[in-house]
Amino acid sequence: MAAPALNEEIQYVSYYNFRPTLFHGYVGPFVIIYAIWLYVLTAVYGLEDYFEAGLIALAVIGVLQILVSLFCLWSVHIRCILTCSKVSSPENASWVKVVPTPNNGSTELVKLYKTKENGEEELWFMFQKAKYLWDGAEKKKFLPLVFPVNHTMAHYMDCKGLQEESDVTHAENLFGKNMLEMDIPRFMELFQERATAPFFVFQVFCVGLWCLDEYWYYSVFTLFMLIAFEATLVQQQLRNMAEIRKMGNKPYMMNVYRNRKWRHQLTTDLVPGDIVSIGRSQEDRLVPCDLLLLRGPCIVDESMLTGESVPVMKEAAEILEGDHVLDVEADGHLHVLFGGTKIVQHTPPSKTAAGMKATDNGCIAYVLRHSFNTNQGKLLRTILYGVKRVTANSIETFFFILFLLIFALIAAGYVWIKGTEDPDRNRYKLFLECTLILTSVVPPELPIELSLAVNTSLLALTKLLVYCTEPFRIPFAGKIDVCCFDKTGTLTADNLVVEGVTGLKGNEIQSALDCPTETIHVLASCHALVQLEDELVGDPLEKATLKAVDFSLTKGETVISQRKKMHGLKIFHRFHFASALKRMSVIAGHTPPGSMETEHIATVKGAPETIKTMLKTVPADYDRVYLEMARRGARVLALGHRRLGNLSHQQLKTITRDDVEKDLHFCGFVVISCPLKTDSKTVIREIQNASHHVAMITGDNPLTACHVAKELRFTRKQHTLILQSPSQTVTEWEWRSIDDNVTVPVWPAGDVRKQLVEEYDLCLTGEGVTYLIKEQPKLWKIVLPNVKVFARVAPKQKELIITSLKSQGFITLMCGDGTNDVGALKHAHVGVALLANAPERMPEKKVRREESPADAGPSQSPADKLAARGSSGKASRVAKQRAIARGDNMAPAQKRLQGMLKEIEEEEKASIVRLGDASIASPFTSKLSTIMCICHIIKQGRCTLVTTLQMFKILALNALILAYSQSVLFLEGVKFSDTQATMQGLLLAGCFLFISRSKPLKYLSKQRPLPNIFNLYTILTVMSQFAVHFVSLVYLVQAAQIISPREGKIDLEAKFAPNLLNTTVYIISMSLQVSTFAVNYKGEPFMESLFNNKPMMYSISISGGAIIALASGLMPEMNEYFELVQLPDEFRNTVLAVVIVDIVGAFMIDRILQLLFGTAKVRRR
């Protein structure tokens, strides 16, 4: 019985025990089979009469046994079936099969541990560095370790650490040590893993077959090259693992409160429940694990986790209510110090205040989670255990191979049936030929070709400062239907302009400096800015407002006016901004001259509709003024102020947010214009023109969002309708236009699509989303894909919108910042986090270093030149594999091996995603704060899809032609010499090398690529082109046989001798290969055309020229070298004519089919 595990990483677990070796599926049954074989051979048929057949049968049984054994290595599921007994209860099991959810690593068979703790037996196992415990009392299933992350604040504040040694031992047994490092396997372990991989085994099997066919020199040399190649890759893998290992935290001594006293402990000894003292260190040490900050504020650099370069202010949890239950997701950004981050400034708790204080003057913190269970650990696990093999369309690849195998089996069957008609023919040689047909039809370079398509894009994106932790998502980028964008900081710029304050004198905008003192005090004090040495850090909007009122902030949390007539303010307490609350408040104060008492004030700012409910008196034109400003696209925040009088230190500590945010005096609306980023318009236009739907999902005001949507052409119709809730004047929900001129019922009479969707652009607020889901679920499904703007939505609702679109079958992209968009970014097929405060342009130095004059055409932009270089090294790896597999061109291959391996090494190095580059927020992270990266990702995604598709077509055609050549023509006595085979292999290697170097175009096309391999166009074009090639081949073979008929019986084992038939077949085979590459290279509109891909163009031109030269006999020496005979004049003209007709015919058929069936359409909303 498979038991589900309550965890987003594990799909289910099942329990096993190993059987004795004799009862393993690859031992016991085969002992019986070998016994039967021996009996049948000796007793039934006779050893002397059927010796060859007996050996063939033994070889087949041996290969089967090896395959079954290898399947146990390749598949954990098969290993469990063949070697284990399944049990229903974990109490009776020794091993657990853990099946993870898709894209979370691979299935593993892990040891089940049984330990005694407090007299009770505990069952647990480790999977991907995380511990899972058996809950036998309640849930009856394995659950992840429960860390102390959901207690009340009073529990944490009263905690005195681990007071007894028994507590420490119990915590260590339960949670383990705080070790954030990976075990690096030995060289031989990794090599064994690679040497038993299906691809390597297949190649070794091919080498064995060549040995039997007397290709000794080629076979041994190929085997040597394969082993050298794999050994180099293992060496590189070990280096990569060492690089990832460095990302773990280095242990150091820190102050820990244990056994009722402060003592020094190594950070690796920390366990959840410990109380520690932490602060800024001279050595820039990292926070060792996830800590709840109990006493004393800190400023933290979180760039190692989020990629954001701006330090973050962390407040002590003592400011929260005692009954507040900790929620790491919600409270984390303000009260939790995450492992792997760096403290840049800390303020120790006051010596006079009650509570615990450390001997080293650090801040007091509580250990919540450690090791691989922290946010840093989770990111490392993604890098370590994410999808290892990056391929596009793996299920389709399997069916593609099955499709080719059908033809291979037909060809092999034909050879066997026809061959056995001759009683004198050697059955062993015939069986060998059949096996060679089966192996050659499945292209040995297929796995590399597929991973190459993704790796090329991955490296190209890295050079454009876009980092990816989940490469399997790249092909999704080529299929995207809907692109969703956050507004603030994504579409609009960070360099905000404070236009002034309005609402004090109607809709007149006053300069911030000319406002009443109360308004200036709100703007100067209500913020979360921090003065860090010489730099002011924090939200760009708050920096802009502070600058607008001409105040500056000191390290002592005091704001000072640069103008002499206004006094400064000391900030005593902050109630920080929260997306759900849409407001922020501060308690500040100053001591008037001649007084000993501090006068305290409350300053509040937030969304106008939120602040309205907190005002003592609301101005009559409140709504009209702010709505007018919002319609202009400005960001509008309402300001509130209240005098609190004199407050004691104790009152300051106990005052609640609700006490502060009431009976406020209205101080106006601050109007901030958010200019669009320089390339937002062009990028959105390009994305829309490339057949994608676009939508905006923002927490901002709906009117502001609709204005930006209009500017960026998200909305193009005359009216945009917003779903409005009932008010004093309207009793029901209704759709209302921005200017209030058009109103439509929630569910209009007649056809909803015609009356609502096709007539107007739609905007939904968070409130509207909740209403539709609860009250009008049918309408929600209809309007969801057609809504252009989602405004005033909470982070959880952003996630809900993305998951709802996915459930309707749309491939989604979400682009936002890595803080409040995390859920949506994680759930989208392609999530792209833009780093705030990052540059919009690539640094000049970087561009110059990466750009190569040799690669850059005059029409390419610098970004495209960078993208273009992603495909070079891996391609030579493909060419090498092809040459090795064929045993061609060995001497030059040997010379180039070192250079090629060095190239692979450099590229493998570039493909490691380091902490600080990747963001915990999403699979893709852009180091530039511009949405241009979306175009790059889509271009690379489309390029990957098209490259994969054309490779499948070429491989399929080559395989079909090969099946015919090695079966029918083999029986006709057609052979190629070693020189001819080398030439053909080199041509194939060159073309595959250059086809994979294709670069995306610098613009996105309106046409969309086909999303998968099996579609009407691909099947029809492959079969039609094969039909053309087949007719050409058969016609020329028959014509050659008429001119030069065979005399006597065909000797299949005779040595190669040049004749007219061999020459004709060789020339047509070469031309078919050239034709296949030339016709099926797609080029525009997704990648550069054949004429712009110069290496590919030259390769095809030179090959074509060589074929014409060989056919026409222009250079007799060349014909002699390639062991070809001179073609008769008339027949030569026929051959050339057939070659031209074949290429033109295949080209015409492919292009007509592409015109009819080769275009994908964007999914209808």
The catalytic residue positions are 486
H helix intervals, 246-327: 303-306
Report how far residue 1093's alpha carbon sits from residue 1116's, in angstroms, rounded to the nearest whole number: 32
**SS3 category, 142:** strand
Place of tokens 């009776």: 92
On whether the CB atoms of residues 815 and 486 are closer than 8 A, the answer is: yes
Report how far residue 102's alpha carbon sits from residue 974's, in angstroms, rounded to the nearest whole number: 49
Closest CA to 1028 of 1143, 1137, 1133: 1143
Q: How far apart are the first and last CA of the chain?
A: 42
CA 551-557-561 angle, to 5 degrees, is 20
Give 389-400 as a 3 state SS string.
CCCCCHHHHHHH
On whether the CB atoms of residues 313 and 536 are closer than 8 A, the answer is: no
Closest CA to 938 of 688, 668, 748: 688
- Tokens in use for 1084? 């525009």
CA 676-681-687 angle, to 5 degrees, is 135
Closest CA to 918 of 338, 320, 470, 411: 470
- Tokens in use for 1033? 């081949």
- Tokens in use for 592? 């008037």
Report how far residue 396's alpha carbon sits from residue 1018's, in angstroms, rounded to the nearest whole number: 13
Cα separation values, 238 from 228, 380, 447, 906, Å: 15, 16, 22, 14
**Main-chain dihedrals φ then ψ at residue 262, nearest 5 degrees:** -75, 135
H helix intervals, 549-662: 608-612, 622-631, 649-654, 657-660
Sheet bearing 466-468, strands edge to edge: 466-468, 924-926, 830-834, 812-817, 482-485, 693-697, 787-791, 761-765, 720-724, 734-737, 743-745
Strands 830-834 and 924-926: parallel
Bridge partner residues of 256 (DSSP): 263, 276
Burial of 475-510, coded b for 16+ CB within 10 Å and e otherwise, reads bbbbbbbbbbbbbbbbbbbbebebbbbbbbeeeebb
Give 4-28 as a 3 state SS string.
ECCCCCEEEEEEEEECCHHHCCCCH
**SS3 category, 105:** coil
Report how far residue 869's alpha carbon sits from residue 856's, in angstroms, rounded to the nearest whole number: 10
- Which amino acid is located at 569 in the chain? L
**SS3 category, 268:** helix
Bridge partner residues of 485 (DSSP): 696, 815
Give the number of other Cβ atoms within 10 Å of residue 821's Cβ.
Answer: 31
CA 589-590-596 angle, to 5 degrees, is 120
Report how far residue 205's alpha carbon sits from residue 432's, in angstroms, rounded to the nearest whole number: 12
Q: How many residues does the chain have?
A: 1165
Report how far residue 940's alpha carbon sits from residue 946's, in angstroms, rounded to the nearest whole number: 10
Report how far residue 554's alpha carbon sits from residue 533's, in angstroms, rounded to the nearest whole number: 10
Cα separation values, 927 from 340, 345, 916, 938, 1004, Å: 19, 25, 10, 17, 22
Give the number of other Cβ atoms within 10 Å of residue 570's Cβ.
Answer: 17
